[in-house]
Amino acid sequence: MRELSVSEVSRNFSAVLDEAEHGETIVVTRSGRRVATIAPAPRGNGCALREVLGRWRGHAAFDEAFAATIAATDAEARLQQKAKGERSSGRGRR
């Protein structure tokens, strides 16, 4: 965790956001007092889906076709989320 003054954050805001995106937490200070925290946003990683599917794998009631549909839906959602992130960050624009 790093501490930066308001003026340092203001001058380097894009770099500060890059640090947060990569897991760093930044405490913002004004006149030496802590006034805010910039932290990474929570991200889903698909662990819950894999865990649920793992529990059912091997059971007679487990439907492989359904699991394939869920996996394809999950993959599509990840692609859409990635594309949305690229558009909002300016990447992917012409």
User: Which residues are paired to 4 by β-bridges?
Assistant: 28
- Give the C-alpha separation, 32 to 23, whole Å: 24
pLDDT in tens, 55-77: 767 665 657 787 788 888 888 88
Q: What tokens were used for 56? A: 């059912």
What separation in angstroms does the CA of 38 have from each of 25, 69, 73, 91? Answer: 6, 38, 32, 22
Per-residue pLDDT tens digits for 16-60 = 999 999 999 999 999 999 999 999 988 766 667 777 777 767 665
